[in-house]
Homo-oligomer: A and B are copies of this chain.
């Protein structure tokens, strides 16, 4: 070895030691539980895609600056997926004619983006993707937002902990193109700028905005600053696309989602969206940021040259959700799946003790069988460090008598049990 090998993970990525893995599994298990309750089926794909897939809709900007793109040894341009939506659209398009729509699909892929790591954003993160394909009515949006809401609730959040902001593409297009009279290019640039409205200082935002729209700055700001439809300029309140948002918010209320508000400044980063967009924000003062979002993207499947399919979905990332749980103190305590550690007091009882460990496993107990010889106190300390709740020491005495001392490490109790009763005693106490 000429140079010391680093033990650190690659910049902007994380090592998941069992404790953080367990936390991540808690996130994913909770998400899975909800989406499967709504009848969603899991799919997945490779982490590598041909780069063309991202050039088509994401715009060159993302392909060039934020992706891990390279040429493989066979000369193919490939990219490590920065998001899942192009992949799922590709998969739907590939079997456009055989799939039985509507489809309800979910996946929890890892995604990579080359960017400066910061709070809530790493180079690699995992993201629940939930999508419904083939439902044209707003029932799709209602279902998708209901799922997002149910996941938040199952994490232990209340309606006060987060707010769901909604907007739609039609009203954005109307406001920029008709109300302000911007052409397509300028309205696109202005939309991108508005998307960053809450991430840059207000002065900078207004200055950049006026470069595009000049004297219309106040006219636009009076729209963007509206906190509800009632605060919009009068002539916009009656707009079809705006009254539709109102009706949508009321429908969400009727299914028990009462923390949904209209936000005319909600743009969402990508250009996929064709209808309703939504974004969930943390209301906690220490984490006042966007958590995740989604919307309707009816045109994406069609770019593969097949008949378009209507689509609504959202992506929920593990890093931002973990921040949310931390700030609201909703993270569960670490728990391991291992229920019991069996240790031997003497090498002579090894086979006997292994037999018992296997017997317990057949009885559905998760058992660490430890043959390394240590003092009982050390075994106990190690079991506690691994959060294993029970320990059983086996020596010649136990082998002869058939009676075992089961130690409950949480309650600091010792229970004497016969071989046949170990499982029963454990299951009663777990």
Q: Cβ of A381: which chain B residues have Cβ within 8 Å of it?
A: 100
Q: Say whether A47 faces chain B, with CB atoms less than 8 Å apart.
A: yes
Chain B nearest Cβ from A150, distance in angstroms: 8
Contact residue among B7, B36, B305 (Cβ-Cβ distance under 8 Å from A5)? B305
Q: Cβ of A4: which chain B residues have Cβ within 8 Å of it?
A: 304-305
Given the known A-B contacts A17-B95, A371-B137, are A25 and B42 also in contact in the complex, defined by CB atoms under 8 Å? Answer: yes
Nearest residue, chain B, Cβ from A306? B7
Contact B361 A37 (CB under 8 A): yes
Contact A1 B56 (CB under 8 A): yes
How many chain copies?
2
Q: Say whether A269 faces chain B, with CB atoms less than 8 Å apart.
A: no
Q: Scan residues 108-157 of chain A and give those whose CB is less than 8 A from a CB of chain B.
A: 110, 112, 114, 123-124, 134-135, 137, 139, 143
Chain B nearest Cβ from A241, distance in angstroms: 22
Q: Cβ of A336: which chain B residues have Cβ within 8 Å of it?
A: 41
Number of chain A interface residues as a range:
35 or more
Docked Cα-Cα span, A305 to B6, in Å, equals 9
Q: Scan residues 275-334 of chain A and give those whose CB is less than 8 A from a CB of chain B.
A: 303-306
Given the known A-B contacts A50-B6, A371-B135, are A42 and B56 also in contact in the complex, defined by CB atoms under 8 Å? Answer: no
Contact A46 B9 (CB under 8 A): yes
Of A71-79, A185-193, A399-407, the one contacting chain B is A71-79
Of A86-94, A161-169, A205-213, A258-266, the one contacting chain B is A86-94
Docked Cα-Cα span, A250 to B1, in Å, equals 39
Q: Cβ of A93: which chain B residues have Cβ within 8 Å of it?
A: 7
Q: Assuming A5-B305, A18-B41, A135-B372, what are 20 further A-B pairs, CB within 8 angstroms?
A: A6-B90, A7-B93, A10-B78, A15-B43, A16-B45, A18-B105, A36-B366, A37-B367, A38-B361, A38-B367, A41-B337, A46-B110, A47-B80, A47-B124, A65-B73, A68-B70, A80-B80, A134-B372, A143-B369, A255-B354
